[in-house]
Chains A and B, each alone.
Chain A
Amino acid sequence: MKSLPSRVNHRAWFTLDHGFATAEFAAVLPSLILVAVTILQILSLCCTQIQIQSMSYLIAKNVARGELVSDLLAKANNGGMRVEEFRDGKYLTVRVTTDRALGVLPKKFSIHLVAETVSDVEPHLQGDSRGTNVD
């Protein structure tokens, strides 16, 4: 009958690598952290771009239809976005910009994200040419 391994045998099995695995893990850990941080940064940038893209689309659509966008502008300002509106004849361009910091890096290394949507304005609103920053 085969006996179960003793406690001493267990300890011997664990100490077989003489700490090599721990040392290798310690060497690889910075790279793993770098990969994880990079992935998180890309996802974060992507989410921010989706937010500003959706914001520019919603503002352009609502302004073109003559609807109020004060709640959207308030939401954009709270999220640190800058909203600009340009009118050229019957076309309305809404540009939403924001600066996204990269982790713990200083602000000068932040990434500038821009989203623009062009829409045409309803005929009765075409005379109202503001062409200004709306934030």
Chain B
Amino acid sequence: MATILMSFPLFWLASAALNFLRVTQVADVVALSAARQLIADDPNPCNTATQLAELNGATLMDCTVLSNSVQVKVGSALHYGPLGFASKLITASANAGLWRKEGEL
């Protein structure tokens, strides 16, 4: 019984850590993809970003297209219990685009 009781919070912590890592990585992939579309002169790179976030099991919460970069915010719900009655949204942001070093043409 003690093992089961101690396992639940540990499972939850492990799940939270994994989910956070996953959301961060999905945000990176989505931002890179959106930036790729922006460079390829796609008028709306956020469409691809939305699709890609969904394919990775997350939700695109915000997508801002700047002059030569894209900023995205991706979220994923973490359920507290097996019944799923309570959940917390884990979010991560990422930027991708063309950056030039200072002094570079």
Chain A residues numbered 57-73 whose CB sits less than 8 Å from any CB in chain B? 57, 60-61, 64-65
Q: Is the CB of B7 within 8 A of A46?
A: no
Q: Determine which of B6, B22, B26, B55 lies in contact with A38 in the assembled complex, contact meaning CB atoms within 8 Å.
A: B6
Closest to A47 in B: B14
Specify the main secondary structure of chain A where it touches its partner.
helix
Q: Is the CB of A120 within 8 A of B52?
A: yes
- Complex Cα distance, B3 from A34, in Å, reads 7
Instruction: Please tell me the number of chain B residues within 8 Å of chain A, measured between CB atoms.
Output: 23
Specify the main secondary structure of chain B where it touches its partner.
helix
Q: Determine which of A31, A43, A45, A53 lies in contact with B25 in the assembled complex, contact meaning CB atoms within 8 Å.
A: A53
Q: Determine which of B7, B17, B33 lies in contact with A120 in the assembled complex, contact meaning CB atoms within 8 Å.
A: B33
Q: Is the CB of B18 within 8 A of A35?
A: no
Q: Is the CB of A31 within 8 A of B29?
A: no
Q: Is the CB of B7 within 8 A of A42?
A: yes
Q: Is the CB of B18 within 8 A of A54?
A: no
Q: Is the CB of B21 within 8 A of A53?
A: yes
- Complex Cα distance, B10 from A34, in Å, reads 15
Asked if B32 is at the interface of the complex by the 8 Å CB criterion, the answer is: yes
- Complex Cα distance, B23 from A57, in Å, reads 11
Query: A72 to chain B: closest CB distance in Å?
Result: 14
Please indicate the chain B residues that have their CB under 8 angstroms from the CB of A50 in the complex.
17-18, 21
Sorted nearest first, the 6 A-B pairs with minimum C-beta distance are A46-B14, A118-B55, A57-B25, A120-B33, A119-B29, A42-B10
**Given A53-B25, A117-B56, 10 more pairs with CB closer than 8 A:** A31-B3, A38-B7, A39-B6, A42-B7, A43-B14, A54-B25, A61-B29, A64-B32, A120-B33, A122-B36
